[in-house]
Amino acid sequence: MAAAEAERAVGGRAAAYAANPERFVRRAPTPPPVPAAAWINKPDSEEAAH
């Protein structure tokens, strides 16, 4: 699911760059890397995390 969302974001950024390249003075926009895990309340032990 996160990979699909990242792909969607890449498409949106590419479209924005294609439409207005002058707004991106340094380089074309790139999305941040997808995190391995995301927690609201991280478990105390590694075993509880699985």
Measured distance CA(48)–CA(29) in Å, rounded: 37
Q: Reduced to 3 DSSP states, what percent helix, strand and coil does the chain have, rounded to the nearest 5?
A: 50, 0, 50
**The pLDDT value given to residue 1:** 67
> pLDDT of 5-50, one tens digit each?
777 878 888 898 999 999 988 888 888 888 888 888 888 876 655 5
- pTM for this prediction: 0.52
Alpha-carbon torsion (50, 41, 5, 20), positive or negative: negative
**The pLDDT value given to residue 21:** 92
More confident residue, 36 or 3: 36
Q: Find, among 30, 31, 27, 23, the residue nearest to 5 by Cα.
A: 31
Q: Find, among 29, 35, 33, the residue nearest to 13 by Cα.
A: 29
